[in-house]
Amino acid sequence: MPKHALRNRAGEREAGLGKGGRGRQVGIKQIAAELGVSVGTVSRALNNRYGVDPETRERVIAAAKRAGYVPDAAARRLKSHPLWRVALLFAPFVGPGGEINPAAVATVEALRAEAQRRGLEFQLVEYRGDADVVARCEAGEFDAAITYGHFEPATLELLAGRGLPTVSLQGRMRAGRVVPVRVDTRAAAYEAVLYLAALGHRRVGLVAGPETELHHRGFYEGFAAAVDEFSLESPAEWRLALGADQLNVRGAASALAPVLADAARRPSAVVFASDWLACGGLEAARAAGLGVPRDLSVTGFDDLPIAAEQTPPLTTFDVHLDRLAETVFEAATRLLENPLLSAAELEEPRVRADFVKRGSCGLAGR
């Protein structure tokens, strides 16, 4: 028998599976027979369809991996439907007047454009609770999900338990087939403080959102690390943690006003976790009679079109939304193409924003 035709019989005996006769790769019929389940059950398990309990799905996937079975994703997709269906589960923070951060809206549109470029069916689904997500999964409304916004760990655990290919944008969980894609806000906050320190600022403040959210937590961590490293002054009352209903221009302006009102002891520079919040900072500075950057230097994050339109133009960070969307869909596509792939087998994608220096920052004391 030629060497290339030899089989690892010990491995086959252990798994009960292997290549079929005449060199053919094992298929779902052999996997079904070995496990004592129907072909339909194997197919649904490998395609993350409703109707298979988690234990059976794990058995099927483990058996397929042992056998070296790799489904023909392209053929399967074209046979069932011409497009993969990707749902963006969107749970933004909404202000008292229904305001949503323009950066979130821009991110959604970047994701929509990337899906269209890849020939994928894209649907925006407003998150209305876990029961709604379960109902949509059971109805087979989409093949993969992207979560963006505020999601409790229980929701991501639910998706991980169902084996649904999921990309969690700015999420913390990495389990099952849930893969996080993160923007490195910690590095951005550190770089912003470093730049301000180089300009001679010794008193710096921070305005960000709930520390439980990864995006904002990165700002707290990077800011604190730089303040400690450069021995800057930044008492707790200058580090403002805004609530969900304050993450807007009005909320930032109101929260910062008392800090800027203390002429004897106020920061000479403030780092903001978004351009939207930074616009509130500019409003607060004007209301306090402070010049930017003469009396107060300001940095934002996102590089929205409005950042360059401010007076003065806002120093910020360009997230490169097209690159971010491409990274998200690259991870989603890999999960879709290989139903046996787990999050643990994928490198965690991380996107770094680029610093954009404009007129809202200046030398301290000028």
pLDDT single digits (tens) 160-202: 888 899 999 998 888 888 999 999 999 999 999 999 999 999 9
Count of all residues that appear for the chain in the document: 366
CATH tag, 3-71: 1.10.260.40
Measure the CA–CA gap between 353 and 230, rounded to whole angstroms: 22
Burial 36-71 (b: 16+ CB within 10 A, else e): ebeeebbbbbbbbbeebeeebbebbbebbebbebeb
- The mean pLDDT of 258-264, rounded to a whole number, is 93
Position 274 pLDDT exceeds 70: yes
- pLDDT in the model for residue 221: 98
- pLDDT computed for residue 22 by the predictor: 40
Asked whether residue 25 carries a pLDDT value surpassing 60, the answer given is no
Q: Helices 39-46 and 54-67: crossing angle, nearest 10°?
A: 90
Secondary structure, 3-state, the chain: CCHHHCCCHHHHHHHCCCCCHHHCCCCHHHHHHHHCCCHHHHHHHHCCCCCCCHHHHHHHHHHHHHHCCCCCHHHHHHHHCCCCEEEEEEECCCCCCCCCCHHHHHHHHHHHHHHHHCCCEEEEEECCCHHHHHHHHHCCCCCEEEEEECCCHHHHHHHHHHCCCEEEECCCCCECCEEEEEECHHHHHHHHHHHHHHCCCCEEEEEECCCCCHHHHHHHHHHHHHHHHCCCECCHHHEEECCHHHCCHHHHHHHHHHHHHCCCCCCCEEEECCHHHHHHHHHHHHHCCCCCCCCCEEECCECCHHHHHCCCCCEEEECCHHHHHHHHHHHHHHHHHCCCCCHHHCCCCEECCEEECCCCCCCCCC
Q: Phi/psi zone of residue 274: left (φ > 0), alpha (ψ -120 to 50 degrees), beta?
A: beta
**C-alpha torsion sign, points 300, 303, 306, 308:** positive
Reported confidence tier of residue 26, pLDDT bands at 50, 70, 90:
low
Residue intervals of the chain classified under CATH 3.40.50.2300 are: 79-183+322-351, 185-319
pLDDT value at position 23? 43
Stretch 37-64: mean pLDDT: 73
pLDDT value at 101 more than 80: yes
Residue limits of CATH 1.10.260.40 in the chain: 3-71
CATH number of 185-319: 3.40.50.2300
pLDDT above 90: residue 211? yes
> Which range, 8-12, 157-161, 222-226, is most confident?
222-226
**pLDDT exceeds cutoff 80 at 54:** no
**For residue 72, pLDDT beyond 60:** no
Which is it for the CA torsion 281, 282, 283, 287, positive or negative?
A: positive
Note whether 203 and 266 are within 8 A (CB).
yes
Per-residue burial over 314-329, b = 16 or more CB atoms within 10 Å of its CB, e = otherwise: bbbbebbbeebbbbbb
Q: Is the pLDDT of residue 1 over 50?
A: no
Say whether pLDDT at 17 is over 60.
no
- Name every residue whose Cβ is closer than 8 Å to that of residue 262 and which is 6 or more positions away in sequence: none
CA dihedral 73, 74, 75, 77 (to 10 degrees): 80
Res 63: pLDDT:
81
Q: What is the pLDDT of residue 231?
A: 97
Q: Rounded to whole angstroms, how far apart are CA atoms 51 and 66? A: 23
- pLDDT confidence bin for 81, thresholds 50/70/90: very low
d(CA 119, CA 113): 10
Architecture of domain 79-183+322-351: 3-Layer(aba) Sandwich (3.40)
What was the pLDDT predicted at 51?
61
* pLDDT over 80 at 97, yes or no: yes
CB 185: neighbour CB atoms within 10 A? 28
Higher per-residue confidence, 283 vs 11: 283
What pLDDT is recorded for position 142? Answer: 93
Mean pLDDT of the 202-220 span? 96
- Give the span between the Cα atoms of 191 and 194, in whole angstroms: 5
- Report percent pLDDT > 90 for the chain: 66
The answer, yes or no, to whether residue 258 has pLDDT greater than 60, is yes
The whole-angstrom separation of Cα 53 and Cα 57 is 6
Reading the block at residue 213, the tokens are 């959210």
pTM score above 0.85 = no
Question: What residue type is assigned to position 263 of the chain?
Answer: A
pLDDT, one tens digit per residue, over 303-342 is 999 999 999 999 999 999 999 999 999 999 999 888 888 8
* Token digits of residue 147: 């979560």
pLDDT at residue 224, rounded to an integer = 98
Return mean pLDDT, the chain: 87
pLDDT confidence of residue 74:
45
Q: What is the mean pLDDT of residues 342-362?
A: 91
